[in-house]
Homo-oligomer: A and B are copies of this chain.
């Protein structure tokens, strides 16, 4: 069993995808993250769901729990307003030292080691550099636990 057998189609975004669209994609399809691709379909990064949220939090609240505590209620509005007009470009995490990206020949063990090392529940699978699908922690666990 190799990555090519486990990989499934997975939603992608580009640097110009609206942040609100990315948030809706995560929520509607219950995804652990999104794959960011360039115009040629090459994975540029993996965008964890938590980093899309970051955009919705005003800068003055991000590192100060006390400030975030006093701003209460009506926040569906606040979130939508803050995400509106912004793009995925603005929620990119700092580039990690290793991206959870591998090729179609990766073994199950290699996928597991990559997820553990990068702490990413989502691995992008490429063929000649282009994205062909993804393996999630859930699908890997389902496979190894034979569920």
Contact = CB atoms under 8 A, between A and B. Distances in A.
A28 B147 contact: yes
Contact of A137 (B24, B49, B63, B68): B49
Interface string A63-94: 10100111111011011100000000000000
Stoichiometry, copies per complex: 2
Contact of A106 (B27, B69, B115, B141): B69
The secondary-structure label for the interface of chain A is helix
A33 to B, nearest CB: 9
Interface residues of A, number: 60
A115 to B, nearest CB: 5
Contacts of A41: none
Nearest to A145: B27
Contact of A110 (B56, B69, B80): B69
A138 B76 contact: no
A72 B58 CA distance: 47
A49 B121 contact: yes
Given A57-B112, A113-B57, A119-B50, A144 B80 contact: yes
Q: Which 6 pairs from chain A and chain B are nearest by CB?
A: A54-B116, A68-B110, A27-B141, A79-B144, A75-B108, A72-B107
Given A32-B32, A57-B112, A80-B144, 13 more contacts: A23-B141, A26-B141, A27-B142, A30-B30, A49-B121, A50-B119, A57-B109, A63-B117, A65-B113, A69-B106, A75-B108, A76-B144, A80-B145
